[in-house]
Structure 1
Amino acid sequence: MIGKVSLVNRLALLFAACTAAVSLGAGLLFNHASEQHFIELDQQLLESRLSLLRAQLAGVTRAEDLRARLPALRAELGHQADLGLRITASDGTRWFESRNGLPALPVPGGLATLHAQGTDYRSLAQPLLPGAPQSPQVALYLDITHHQHFLQGMQRLIWLTVGLSALATALLGAWAARSSLRPLRQMGQVAASVGARSLTTRLPVAQMPDELAELATAMNAMLQRLDDAFQRLSAFSADIAHELRTPLSNMLTHTQVTLTRPRSLEEYHEALHGNLEALQGMAQMINDMLFLAKADHGLLVPGQTPLALHDEADALLEFYAPLAEDNNVTLHREGQATLSGDRPMLRRALSNLLDNALRFTPNGGQVQVTLQPGPVICVANTGAAISPAALPRLFDRFYRVDPARHEGSREHAGLGLAITRSIVQAHGGDITVACANGWTRFVITFSEAH
C-alpha cells in the first residue's frame, strides 16, 4: 500500500508528522517545565509555613503542651484555606489534624504529591524539633487541585495544538508539494503529447526551478535528437523511394514491352541482362544504405590493423590509372603516413574520393593525394569550383552537385561521400571539403589518440 501513495501525499504526511513531532516535543517540554515550576513554588511555600509552625510550636514535646497552643494554631490555619496540618507523636499517635480526609503520609523527610477524596495535595513531612530524637512529626498538606487542573488543561491544549498543526501542515504541505511538482506534471504532459507530428514541442526551461532545469534541458535535448532522427529517417525513406522508383519503373516498362509479343531467345537474353544490371544497381544501393544505417547506430567497429597509408594510396592509384589515362588526367601521390585501422573500410573511403575526383576532373587535369603525419589525407583535384551553398550538403545522402546526373542513376546514387564520412567517423576522424584556386580538396584528419 505504501508504494501506491502519491508523492504529494507522501510529502504532506511527512510534513504533518514532522510538525506533530516538533509540536508534541515542545508541548511536553513546556508542560514539564510548568510542572517543575509549580513544584518549586509549592516547596518554597510549604517550607516557609513549616518555619512559622516551628516558631509557633517551639518547646512542644507532649500532647498537653500542644493543647495549650491549639487556639492560636487554629486561628493561623484559618487564614490559609488551602493548607492542612497533621501533628503526630514520635510513635505515630495522632495529636492534631486540621481537616478530615487528609491522605496518609509516605516516608517522612521529603516532598510528595498525594491524592485523596478527589483532592490533590503536595505534602511535606518534617520533625517539629530538628535534632531531637523523640520530636513530634509535622505534616503539611497544600491543596494543588487548581494546579493540576491547569496542567491537565495545558495537556489538552497541547494535544489540540498538535492535531491542528499537523492537519494545517498536511494541507499546506500538500498544496506546496502540488505547486512545486507542477513542472513535473508539465513534463509528463509534454511527454504524453509527443508524437511523430509534435516532436518540436519543448519544455520552458526558463520557468523551471533550478532542480528541474537540468532535467528539462536534457529532455529538450532528447526531443531534439528524436526530431533530428525522425527527420533523417523521413528524408531517408523519401530519398530511397525516390531513387528506387525510376529503376523499378524502367524494369516494369521494359519487361512489359518485352512480353507484348513473342521474341527471339537473344532478345529475351538482352532484356534479362538489362534487368540484371538494374537489379545489381539496386542491390548495391540497398547494401550502401544498410552500411550507413549501421554507421548511424554506431555498429561499425573498424579493425585495428597497422597500415601504411602511402602503400594503400599507391595501390588505388594504380587501379584508377587506366581510367585516368583515358581522360588524360594526371595522378600523383606525395608524403607518407601510418594509421591503425580497417583496411577494407579505409580503401573504400579513399576509393570513393578518388572516383569522385576523377569524375569531376576535366580533360588534362590533375588528381593529387597528399599524406602527412597525424595522419592527414588530402585528395585534391582541379576543375570547376563547387558553389558555397552546395559544400555543406556534399556529404548528405543522395545529394548530387551535377544537375545533369538524373535520378535513378545506377552508377552513382549520391551515397559515396556519405559512406566515406561514416567510415572516417568510425575511425575517430573528420572530413572537410574546400574549394580554392581552381582546386577542390577533401581533407581527412584522424586524431592522434586513435
Structure 2
Amino acid sequence: MARLAQRMLEQAATELQPLVAAFNQMLSLLEMGYHQLSQVSADMAHDLRTPISTLIGQTEVALSQTRRVGDYQALLGSNYEELDRLAKMIDNMLFLAKAEDASQAMDLQDIDLAQLGEKLQDYFDGMAEEQSMRLEMTLHGELRADPQLLQRALANLMANALRYGDRDSTVRVFNQGNSLMVENQGSPLIAEQQARIFERFWRADASRHQGSSGLGLSIVRSIMRLHQGRCEVHSEDGVNRFTLRFPSVGCGH
C-alpha cells in the first residue's frame, strides 16, 4: 500500500512525460480503489458483527439456566429475525458483487409500468399503513428494462421513502417518459448527503436505520449502471425526490 502512494517524478524527457502522467494516474486510481475496498470491508464487518453479537449474547443468556418453553420460543423468534437480517445483507452483498461484472446478462423487456405499480402498491400498502403514511402510485406507459432489476430498484426507493418520510404524509411514485420518480416529505438532505447517499453502507441518518443494511440505494445505483442509466436525488422545500433515468433506447446484452 505504501508504494501505491508514491509517484514518478514528472521531470522526465518531454517525450516521456505523457507516459509518466498516465502511470501516475493509474497509481492514483489503484490507491483510491484500495481505500474504497478497505472501507467497504470495514463497514461490512461492522454491519455483520452487530446481528452476530446479538445472536451469541441472547443464546448465551438462554443457555445459562433452564427456561420456560415460552422463553425459548421468544428467543427463537428473535434469533429468526436476526438471521433473516443477515441473509438479506448477504444477498445484497452478493448482488453488488455480481453487478460489478458489466457482462452480466439482462432480460430486457417492455414493461407495463401501471401493472408494476399495482404490484408494488399491494406489497407496500401494509408498510405505509404501519408508518401512518399513504402511497400515491401514478405510473403509466411502458419502459424497456429488466423486470426483476427494475422492480428491485423501485422497491428499494419506496422502502427508503417510507422508512425516512414524515408520518401522516404521502409517498408519490410517478414517471415522466423514461424517468421514474419516488418522492417523500421528510428531513431535507444537504449537499453532502445528496452526494454520498448512493454509496455502500452510507446512511444519511444513522439513528433511523433499524433493519437497514445501508446497501439499498447502492443497489439502485448498480442496477441503473447495468441499464446504462443513472440515479439522482434532489431535496428542496421538505420534499426528497429520487429519480431513475433510463436511456431512450434499451441497452444491449
The answer to whether the superposition gives a TM-score over 0.5 is: yes
TM (norm. structure 2) is 0.89
Q: Structure 1 residues 200 and 277 mapped into 2: Cα distance closer, same or farther (>3 Å)?
A: same
Distance 1:227 1:299 in 2: 25
Task: Say which SS state the counterpart of residue 236 (structure 1) adopts.
Answer: helix
Contact 1:378 1:442 in 2 (8 A): yes
Structure 1 position 443, deviation (Å) = 1.2
Fraction of identical pairs, as percent: 35
Contact 2:114 2:140 in 1 (8 A): yes
Q: Structure 1 residues 220 and 449 mapped into 2: Cα distance closer, same or farther (>3 Å)?
A: farther
Contact 2:113 2:139 in 1 (8 A): no
Q: Which amino acid aligns with 1:293?
A: A
Aligned to 1:382: 185
1:202 maps onto 2:19 in alignment: no
1:393 maps onto 2:196 in alignment: yes
Q: Structure 1 residues 252 and 395 mapped into 2: Cα distance closer, same or farther (>3 Å)?
A: same
The match for 1:427 among 219, 227, 237 is 227
Q: Which runs of 5+ in 2 are unaligned?
A: none
Contact 2:117 2:138 in 1 (8 A): no
Distance 2:201 2:15 in 1: 44
Q: Which amino acid aligns with 1:396?
A: E
Aligned to 1:439: 239
Aligned to 1:254: 58
Aligned to 2:83: 279
Contact 1:382 1:440 in 2 (8 A): yes
Task: Say which SS state the counterpart of residue 261 (structure 1) adopts.
Answer: coil
**What are the residue-to-residue correspondences of 1:102-251 with 2, within 5 Å?**
196-205=1-10, 207-251=11-55
Task: Say which SS state the counterpart of residue 175 (structure 2) adopts.
Answer: strand
Distance 2:142 2:193 in 1: 32
Q: Deviations over 1:321-364 (max 9, x none)?
A: 23323434232233534322211111010001011111222222
Q: Which amino acid aligns with 1:365?
A: S
Larger radius of gyration: 1
Q: Which amino acid aligns with 1:201?
A: Q
Structure 1 position 441, deviation (Å) = 0.5
Task: Say which SS state the counterpart of residue 404 (structure 1) adopts.
Answer: helix
Structure 1 position 395, deviation (Å) = 0.9
Distance 2:203 2:126 in 1: 25
Task: Say which SS state the counterpart of residue 390 (structure 1) adopts.
Answer: helix
Contact 1:301 1:426 in 2 (8 A): no
Q: Which amino acid aligns with 2:105?
A: V
Contact 1:424 1:430 in 2 (8 A): yes
1:403 maps onto 2:210 in alignment: no
Cα RMSD of the aligned pairs, angstroms, is 2.0
TM (norm. structure 1) is 0.52
Q: Deviations over 1:192-231 (max 9, x none)?
A: xxxx2332222334x3344433333332232222112211
* Bigger relative contact order, structure 1 or 2 (CA pairs below 8 A, ≥6 apart): 2
Q: Which runs of 5+ in 1 are unaligned?
A: 1-195
**What are the residue-to-residue correspondences of 1:60-99 with 2, within 5 Å?**
none
1:340 maps onto 2:141 in alignment: no
Q: Structure 1 residues 322 and 328 mapped into 2: Cα distance closer, same or farther (>3 Å)?
A: same
Structure 1 position 440, deviation (Å) = 0.5
Q: Structure 1 residues 334 and 276 mapped into 2: Cα distance closer, same or farther (>3 Å)?
A: closer
1:412 maps onto 2:212 in alignment: yes
Greater CA deviation, 389-398 or 294-303?
294-303
Distance 2:73 2:186 in 1: 41
Aligned to 1:311: 115
Q: Which amino acid aligns with 2:206?
A: P
Q: Deviations over 1:254-278 (max 9, x none)?
A: 1111111122344333323322221
Aligned to 1:351: 155
Q: Deviations over 1:102-156 (max 9, x none)?
A: xxxxxxxxxxxxxxxxxxxxxxxxxxxxxxxxxxxxxxxxxxxxxxxxxxxxxxx
How many residues were matched structurally? Answer: 250
Q: Structure 1 residues 268 and 321 mapped into 2: Cα distance closer, same or farther (>3 Å)?
A: closer
Distance 1:389 1:397 in 2: 15
Distance 1:349 1:232 in 2: 23
Q: Deviations over 1:376-416 (max 9, x none)?
A: 1111112221222211111111222223236xx4x211111
